[in-house]
Amino acid sequence: MDRKKTDKLMKLFNEDSSFKLKNGKTIQFARCNNEDVKRIEAMTNEELMDTYKSISIGLEYGVSLRDMEFLSLLEMEMTTRKIPDNKINKMVNYINKTRDKIAKQMD
């Protein structure tokens, strides 16, 4: 993974990760961290794409900020590894077909 870009992104991710409420309580959002980066770097190309598919399909039903950040890190790693466009396109087609199938089942 491109560590310079990753470090910048991780810094942005963790800005404003907590908010003070008027009643004095604090809300803390779960965010990605360096352990997530290490986990992604250790994945094979197939694991990267399978994880991306799994989280992306779930986007229709709600995700956390952490999930969205994790997707961004997965995308960065796939770009860094230069996974061929035909594999990326196949993955995106699978995601779209699966979402459509689930939507039809929900009707």
**Total structural domains in the chain?**
1
- The answer to whether 53 and 95 are in contact (CB under 8 A) is yes
What is the domain range of residue 90? 3-106
Amino acid 31: pLDDT? 79
Provide the 8-state DSSP code for 27: E
Please report the pLDDT score of residue 87 as a whole number.
93
Measured CA to CA, the distance from residue 68 to residue 11 in angstroms comes to: 15
State the first-to-last Cα distance of the chain, in angstroms, to the nearest integer. Answer: 41
Distance CA 49, CA 40 (A): 11
Q: What is the pTM of this model?
A: 0.77
Encode the chain (107 residues) as per-residue pLDDT tens digits. 788 888 787 777 776 667 778 888 887 777 788 899 999 999 999 999 999 999 888 877 777 878 888 998 999 999 999 999 999 999 999 999 998 888 888 77
**What confidence score (pLDDT) does residue 11 get?**
78
Q: Count of residues for the chain?
A: 107
